[in-house]
Chains A and B, each alone.
Chain A
Amino acid sequence: MATQPLIKSKQTEKTINGISTQVVCTEFSNYIFIVLTQYGKIGTLISVTPDSRSADISIPMFTTKVLLGKDEALTHVCAKNLTAFVSQEAGNRPVLLGLALKDSSIEAIKAMKDVIKSCRVW
């Protein structure tokens, strides 16, 4: 098919703390879809939505919701930490995140954020 793909997508792989980490970012008009995985699977699916009422306040607020998988506090913390900047940069679009991590230490999360930045599609 000669037609250009309608969906913009970028992917990369990086070893973080000795663990192979894969990222796939996909842009939709109403969502940014990010898969961040150390298992090769989507794992836990989380939506990160900017709160509309905070648009006029300087501190942005987000609502995280586990759509599929184990609903743990740490999952919400990681999701918000990893993707709040994506939502802001993408014009307050919500983010759909597939998260499957072996290592969720703060150093690893910081490194993963940089990997997401390298797959900017928004």
Chain B
Amino acid sequence: MESRPLVVVGAGVSGTAAAIEAARAGVQVTLIDENPVPTSLARLNVPQFFGQRFTDALRDKAAMMDRIAAANGALREAEEAGVDIQLGVCVWGAFRNSENSRILDGPQIGLADHERSSMMKYDRLIVATGSRDLSIGFAGWNLAGAMGANGAHSLMSRHQALSAQRIVILGSGNLGLSTAKMALDNGIEVAAILDVTPSVRGEKTLAAHLQSKGVDIYTSHTVKQAVGSNGDIESVVLVETDDNFEPVAGTEKVMSADTVCLAISLVPNIEILSLLDCDLNFKSHLGGYVPIHNDWMRTSVDTVFVAGDAAGFHDEMVLNREIARNQGRIAGIAAAESLGAINKSEARSLISEIGTGVPAVQPTEAHTIWKQWLNSLANAGGQDVIACQCEEVTRSEIIGLKPPRYLEWGSVQMSRRTLQTQLKDNPANPNQVKRLTRAGTGICQGRNCREQVALLLAEESNSDIADIPLSTYRPPLRPLPLNIMWPDDESEDVRNEWPKWFSPNNKVLG
């Protein structure tokens, strides 16, 4: 098995900055990024919510590698600093010894490119995996053309492969506003930006700039539905909302658009941190469950550091990428120090020049806006809207704790059971909802519904989303074909001494 002193996961702003600092401090650094992803995954909205709005260019892996490298100037700097850069490689697993798993040969990650998988040992890991789009379903969001802002950003900037013509943006924070600006810069029409809030959430100057370019911003509005034929969005119905996020009758507007972009908020990508059992906390102003870390970006697990959106996302970070960059630099220096490449005082002096890596402005809590959006969408579009696209589970089926439709199960007893009755027995638990309704068990691995399920559980249990436990992450963190997960390097011992269950000879499995 390969072994590296420092592996940085994610070649975005923070990960690249981390890699450069550590390499300059004399550490041999491996920087891994899963982009470009196979189109088979992109089609499933994994790992980013692309909404089928990518061009054929995405199929050309070599061309995409070039574009991704060109889009991030710092990558060249990293290369010059001697960083080993691996694009198109995902991290699907992370393993370390712990109380009930003691026989690993040191901490290691599972990697896969488009053809094969492997394991890599590390001494230190920096998780700079960024964030993903917060998805909340509206009627028609399972049509092609519903996508996420992060997905749109990625397709426009890194891949130059966004195929949208006319776009409606949900969310007036800096995330939504910057998506609109980038769309205009890429020659895409922006039909509207809307938000449930009574005023624009993001930078007023940016909003004014967009309005001067003819973009309409609708505050106190939500989506009633996206409409389309042949599986593609063709128009979007907006509706005004009152103070209780109820639709105002007679205010519907139909906008022609082929794309609806969810730009409500981003959620930190903490899957690897969760697998490694780093301590996590729900912090609303940082976008959900985030790792606990010290000033030097070290998590509760000594060998693991974190930087950028994965450490916590807030809207200011969209416009000010210095926050993520600084966190990355600090993590890179701290990891180098922990490996003994530089001493503590050197590290301290380097870090003191950077600043804290925390935002200048105290960010506001995020989940109030999540909740307002869910309420407005539920009020305008109803609860018979799909929440989990993979398993086609609606919000009302989650609230009703319904067994999946394919079981065709009906009984008096079952009809008496709902999420409410379940909550009398047990605190809200998304894993239990997952087991019973199958919401979150699909091929997107819950990326597009876990916050919705948590919001519904909070709503039904009259509690705060911060009190809803994290739905479990399990490897592989990406859908990985059997024949790619297949270990080429399987040892003869494992091969020949595969046990038959627990039993001695002549006993069978199962």
Q: Do A and B come from one complex?
A: no
Residues in chain B within 8 A of chain A (CB atoms) = none
Residues in chain A within 8 A of chain B (CB atoms) = none
